[in-house]
Amino acid sequence: MPLQRKFLFYVIVAASAAVPAIAQTPASVGVAAGTTQIASVPDFTGTWQHPVFPWFEPPASGPGPITNLSRWPQRAIEGQAPSREGVSDYDQLVGDYKNPILQPWAAEIVKKFGAKSLAGITFPNPSNQCWPMPMPFTFKNFVVQVLQEKDIVTLVYANPQHDVRRIRLNASHSKALTPSWYGDSIGHYDGDTLVVDTVGVKTDRPYAMQDLFGTPYTDKLHIVERYGCVITMMSKTPSRGTRKKIGCSLAMFGANTAASSCRCK
């Protein structure tokens, strides 16, 4: 079966600020045993990609994820007018350490990594050192294959490390959770949306960072993702005067993270 080529657009409206973190004991987002899900399960099976890099998009207003202070001046993007600030300079990863979501100790770490990058030093991260990418660093990957089964959804990321996440459906986090590379992910379908809740990401590992700017995290890291299908193309049947969906993109919206390195509200 040929791979389906679709676009995965990341619309991350808030990062590192929105959800209070509870170490290893968050409320389950699974469906209680004995209940029945009436809504049909959306079909996300296929291979998706997102043509955005770096991968976090700031919200329309309010505090957002760490962004790059180093910009290419007035660099035009094909089909778009150049922004006033230019676009992120991937050759210099200087995180905005003054971002209000950061606690002072975390801001200092981001500042030090940025100083290295300004000095021409490429500091190590999970990607350039070929280590497993922790959540949410794994969003750096451009391509992900989604495999849907009755009780589990598997995300296979296209990178040299072959990062794989397994999301247990309608389950709960174990009270005696052992931290792992990608954390413990559980999920459920909320109508036509897949909601994923992740905790238990390893901290005692090299390159424990959330993004390319070295933003740290601790065992309080708690991530909630919401995946849904957004219609991108419609066709109209003149004889019947009806419209049907002939194309869609998989959108991840509301990927909220909370970590003790951030000022969670």
- Judge contact between 55 and 67, C-beta under 8 A: no
Highest mean pLDDT among 22-36, 45-59, 152-166: 152-166
The string of pLDDT tens digits covering residues 30-43 is 444 444 445 578 88
Q: Minimal CA–CA distance to 37: which of 190, 182, 148?
A: 190
The predicted model scores a pTM of 0.74
Query: Higher pLDDT residue, 53 or 117?
Result: 117
- SS3 of 83-122: the string is CCCCEECCCCCCECCCCCCECHHHHHHHHHHHHHHHCCCC
Average pLDDT, rounded, for the chain? 76
Q: Is 169 helix (H, G, I), strand (E, B) or coil?
A: strand
pLDDT range class, residue 118, cuts 50, 70, 90: very high
Residue 85 has a pLDDT of: 62
Which of 144, 151, 123 minimizes the C-alpha distance to 212? 123
With 60 as the cut, is the pLDDT of residue 164 above it?
Answer: yes
Choose the weakest-confidence range: 76-90, 114-128, 222-236: 76-90
Find the mean pLDDT for residues 191-209: 94
Greatest Cα-to-Cα distance within the chain, rounded to the nearest angstrom: 66
- Per the DSSP assignment, residues forming a β-bridge with 170 are none
